[in-house]
Amino acid sequence: MHRVSVCRTPDYSSGVMERAVESHFQTLGLDSLLKPGMRVTIKANLLMKRAPDEATTTHPALVRAVVRSLKKRGVSAITIADSPGGPYTVQALDGIYAASGMEQVAREEGVSLNRDTGYQEVPNPRGKLVRNFQLIHPVTQADLVINAAKLKTHCMTGLSGGVKNLFGCVPGLMKPEFHYRFPEKERFCEMLVDLCECVRPAVTFVDAVVAMEGNGPSGGNPREVGLTFAGRNPYAVDVALCRAIGEPPASIPILRCAIQRGLCPAGAEELALVGDAADFSAVEGFAKPTPHKLDFSTNMPAPLRPVLLPLVRRVLTPKPVIQNNRCIGCGKCAESCPAHTIELRERKAVINYSGCIKCYCCHEMCPVRAISVRRLGLFTHKKDRR
Ligand code: SF4
Ligand code: SF4
């Protein structure tokens, strides 16, 4: 049975967070993974330049607590890393490290921030769709990878937790290439499971003290959950996260794939939940992302899916809409669009919908929330507009 440790973590104060992370270490017996002198990379979710209280990035208090627990056990060669959205450059990384609070953690705790933008091909014999990945150096060169994720909704994949966080092990603008290569949600999520099998983090921590609900992973709203999660199996951790947000694991395509491959159980009741909050229940009315509310694929009879799904998706799948009054013409959406279907006209972004594959990378990367995700016509509701 997969063990997932769940701790009450009501706030980000250092005492509270350190107690929770220590408890995860002890409950999961993580000492056996560690050896003095080993190189450990903490792969945080540093999607974009946002302050910690915006709930878009892994909170620095979780990363600091993990660093302290590692140092207590004699591990000091620690690097904090991620390949955020957009170009993978030292300048972009430095801006995000400063905004997300990671720069302060690294300076005060005496650990490194990754500034090596190199990457390397890694074979993936367990892959179903992808048999080798290009992965960033701090992941390929580490003796141990610790996954430090954030609980968020996600417009495309439904949930951003432990497994989705690993997409940031793929360097910079190679990420949109995967969206273009696998425009269908199911296949994209199979690719994410392949990636997780390739990276194989030793342990996954999830910051769910304040999660993001609504149109995540960057356009939603902070929501208090008051928990942290940890486990050796990232899929099992995500199954537990589903319970916290009141979502059946089978409605999350990454988990559908993982369950089919026998990588995790189909429900939290089949996990060994441990820790002081093992009896946690769902947060009431946790808001789902707009596209997820219109995902009919799980309700449709299997024989009809190949015929009906493309039609239903074409008509009903919400689309990204630029709000001109908010757009500052930065071009980040165009830069991250895998279909190259966005251009700037008179310093405003314009989408050519004929090429749009509804991946929502543009929505995810807009720094000023100028792109909403909207249902069409009769299905549009004010609540879906930001
Ligand atoms: S929509 Fe957002 S990301 Fe795109 S150009 Fe405007 S402000 Fe930048
Ligand atoms: S316009 Fe936005 S949703 Fe459409 S393909 Fe480009 S990035 Fe994806």
Do 134 and 179 lie in one domain? The reply is: yes
pLDDT band at 297 (very low <50, low <70, confident <90, very high): low
Ligand 1, from 350, 371, 372: best to mutate by most atoms within 8 Å of Cβ? Answer: 371
Beta bridge partner(s), residue 213: 221
Tell me which ligand sits closest to the C-alpha of residue 340: 2
Do 128 and 227 lie in one domain? The reply is: yes
Q: Nearest Cα to 217, choosing from 294, 165, 257?
A: 165
Do 236 and 301 lie in one domain? The reply is: no
- Residue type present at position 281: S
Residue 91 predicted with pLDDT over 90: yes
The whole-number pLDDT of residue 378 equals: 43
> For residue 339, how far is its CA from the centre of ligand 2 (angstroms)?
7
Read off φ and ψ for residue 21, nearest 5 degrees: -70, -40
> For residue 340, how far is its CA from the centre of ligand 1 (angstroms)?
14
Do 220 and 349 lie in one domain? The reply is: no
Q: Give the closest residue (by CA) to ligand 1 atom 2.
A: 366
Query: Is the shortest distance between the CB of 324 and ligand 1 below 6 Å?
Result: no
Which range of residues forms the domain containing residue 304? 294-384
- % of the chain with per-residue pLDDT over 90: 87
| Domain total in the chain | 2
Whether the bond into 60 is cis, omega within 30 of 0: no
Residue 240 predicted with pLDDT over 90: yes
Q: Give the closest residue (by CA) to ligand 1 atom 6.
A: 327
> For residue 258, how far is its CA from the centre of ligand 2 (angstroms)?
26
Do 241 and 369 lie in one domain? The reply is: no
Do 213 and 125 lie in one domain? The reply is: yes
Ligand 1, from 48, 218, 322, 361: best to mutate by most atoms within 8 Å of Cβ? Answer: 322
Q: Which atom of ligand 1 is nearest to the CA of 334?
A: 4
Ligand 2, from 353, 358, 371: best to mutate by most atoms within 8 Å of Cβ? Answer: 358
Residue 295 predicted with pLDDT over 70: no
Q: Give the closest residue (by CA) to ligand 1 atom 8.
A: 330
Query: Token pair for residue 307?
Result: 């015929």
- Residue type present at position 237: V
Q: Does residue 38 sit within a domain?
A: yes
Crossing angle of helices 90-100 and 102-109, in 10° steps, is 80
Q: Which atom of ligand 1 is nearest to the CA of 342?
A: 4
Q: Which atom of ligand 2 is nearest to the CA of 336?
A: 7
Do 181 and 48 lie in one domain? The reply is: yes
Q: How many Å is the Cα radius of gyration of the chain? A: 20
The whole-number pLDDT of residue 316 equals: 72
The whole-number pLDDT of residue 381 equals: 39
Q: Does residue 219 sit within a domain?
A: yes
Do 199 and 93 lie in one domain? The reply is: yes
Q: What is the CATH number of the domain that holds 82?
A: 3.40.50.11440
The whole-number pLDDT of residue 241 equals: 98
Average pLDDT taken over every residue of the chain? 93
> For residue 361, how far is its CA from the centre of ligand 1 (angstroms)?
12
Query: Token pair for residue 281?
Result: 């229940």
Tell me which ligand sits closest to the C-alpha of residue 179: 2
Tell me which ligand sits closest to the C-alpha of residue 319: 2
Residue 227's SS3 state is strand
Tell me which ligand sits closest to the C-alpha of residue 359: 2
CA pair distance 267, 258, nearest whole angstrom: 12
Dihedral angle sign, alpha carbons of residues 271, 273, 279, 282: negative
- Mean predicted confidence (pLDDT) in 135-150: 98
Q: Give the closest residue (by CA) to ligand 1 atom 3.
A: 366
- Find the helix or strand (DSSP H, E) in which 6 lies: strand 3-8
Do 254 and 314 lie in one domain? The reply is: no
Query: Token pair for residue 382?
Result: 């004010």
Residue 303 predicted with pLDDT over 80: no
Q: Which atom of ligand 1 is nearest to the CA of 322?
A: 1
CA pair distance 322, 329, nearest whole angstrom: 11
Residues with Cβ within 8 Å of residue 74, at least 6 apart in sequence: 34, 35, 36, 37
Pairing type for strands 348-351 and 342-345 reads: antiparallel
Residues 248-272 have pLDDT tens digits of 999 999 999 999 999 999 999 999 9
pLDDT band at 301 (very low <50, low <70, confident <90, very high): low
Q: Does residue 374 sit within a domain?
A: yes
DSSP state of 11: S
Residue 216's SS3 state is coil
Residue 298 predicted with pLDDT over 80: no
Q: Any idea what the Cα angle at residue 296 is, between residues 266 and 252, rounded to 5°?
A: 30
> For residue 368, how far is its CA from the centre of ligand 1 (angstroms)?
7
The whole-number pLDDT of residue 221 equals: 97
Residues 168-195 have pLDDT tens digits of 999 998 999 999 899 999 999 999 999 9
Do 12 and 114 lie in one domain? The reply is: yes
Cβ proximity of 97 and 180 under 8 Å: no
> For residue 219, how far is its CA from the centre of ligand 1 (angstroms)?
13
Residue 125 predicted with pLDDT over 70: yes
Residue 281 predicted with pLDDT over 80: yes
CA pair distance 166, 82, nearest whole angstrom: 9
pTM of the model: 0.91
Q: Does residue 281 sit within a domain?
A: no
Ligand 1, from 332, 342, 344, 356: best to mutate by most atoms within 8 Å of Cβ? Answer: 332
Q: Does residue 327 sit within a domain?
A: yes
Q: Does residue 15 sit within a domain?
A: yes
Do 172 and 260 lie in one domain? The reply is: yes
